[in-house]
Structure 1
């Protein structure tokens, strides 16, 4: 797979974007291609991606008409996701999704939680239909729309 050309899987197109976090790399193997967008780590310049990557990363993997997006374990910056007209849009900056949010109503439950400082771990945001992909969680996008999956509980240290 050539990083200089868009990757096509069914109806989905993955195009490498030039962005501040770092270069997109393909992996983990040839049988299940994925695009891994990783945080820049100066000490790792030129190194291949691996599960112990010291920075944060997002993995995007197309499979049978479905797009799987998984967040890394560091949780440095959540990825905001919204679907408009069967197109999935994502950005680390919610302002980048402003055109998609113009007609989107507020999520009243989240507004109340924010105003009452009753915070909870959630994929919900202040706008209905706008979700954020937090550390270790997964988004699944396909014909059924956008589904969000929470990660397994983290182990606690005694």
Structure 2
């Protein structure tokens, strides 16, 4: 999988192409296998451990309430904004279970953001959540749920 030229090591292009064609893991065991495979190339990926940590957290037993993202399932992004913060939940509808959570996120609003109207804070929460989970949401349709009602 590696080629060496002088003191430099390079990943072979054919191996990288094969990596891009790997199927999406369906369970924790498959996810652990994928992380192990990708770890072999970690020296070529800056901040690899930081990037892969959200995936590792899904393989831990205490995170059994979270599901692995499946791009073929209907996806729901639920957002909420308050006077001091914004939060989002990414979930999916399963055929046998009604809905399973994939990820949670929240953050405090800056002093400037706290001056926004509720409509602007809800819009901020939407944009923030989509940007946060763009790797999962890019290229798929998803349902956006908010509790704000405009009159």
> What TM bracket, shorter-length normalisation?
under 0.3
Using structure 2 for the length normalisation, give the TM-score: 0.27
**Who wins on radius of gyration, i.e. which is larger?**
2
Q: Which has the higher helix share?
A: 2
What's the TM-score once normalised by structure 1's chain length? 0.27
